[in-house]
Amino acid sequence: MIIAPIRTRVFKEGENLLDFVAHYFRKVPERSVVVVTSKIAALAERRTAPVVNSRTKEKLIRGESELALPTKHVWLTIKDGMVMASAGIDESNANGKLILLPRDSFKAAAAIRKFLQRKYGVKRLGVLITDSRTAPLRAGVTGVALGYAGFRGLKDYRGTPDIFGRKFKYSRVNVADSLATAAVLIMGEGKEQRPLAIIQKARIEFCDKVQRRELRINIRDDIYRPLFEKLPKV
């Protein structure tokens, strides 16, 4: 797999995202995945808010979340079926504002894909909208897929044999988040100005229609739920 990050100028709030992407992608090869950071997708939608005070930010976080719990460091929230800090609201590289997540990252990915397919005449093309996340009990952030289009986000090994002929019962690979993690590592988290990237030679299955809920797990079925229910209160 080959990942090429693309350095750009600073994206301005309210800009046309499709024109911006097309400017930096002079061509798009077949069987590639175009990566777009969620921050510029949100800026294109003017998904920003002024930093007034902590109460204003709290109200915004609650309004953006399905569940919000205050913790020692951040608000722990659930949004769009994912656990994240502060509903994904970010102050970094925001020029004094708060940047929210895009309204619908799957819809944004589909729109970018359709535009690029028409412009460059490609058929097998993926688009991935990325963000960063922390994982329980692990330091640092990794990439995560907020939305995607053009490829299957989950590879299912269940029922297939391993190298010794034993059939897998549970194994599935999160393709979308794996691609996002690799891309975000190369794109950077600081002042690199690499909000775009292109992935080639990835072993993924391209498709025209994605199952946008395929990566979600009901909280009652999450294998980690019993562990956290047993943790001592601190």
Per-residue pLDDT tens for 149-169?
A: 999 999 988 888 888 888 887
Per-residue pLDDT tens for 8-36?
A: 999 999 999 999 999 999 899 999 999 99
For 1-45+102-209, CATH number? 3.30.1330.100
Instruction: With 0.85 as the threshold, say if the pTM is over it.
Output: yes
Q: Can you tell me whether residue 143 is helix, strand or coil?
A: strand
Per-residue pLDDT tens for 170-191?
A: 788 999 999 999 999 999 998 8
Beta bridge partners of 83: 78
Tokens coding 84: 């994240």
**Average pLDDT rounded to a whole number, residues 83-93:** 88
- Domain regions of the chain by residue span: 1-45+102-209, 48-100
Q: Can you tell me whether residue 39 is helix, strand or coil?
A: helix
Task: Name the percent of the chain lying above pLDDT 90.
Answer: 71
Per-residue pLDDT tens for 42-71?
A: 999 999 998 878 888 899 999 999 989 998
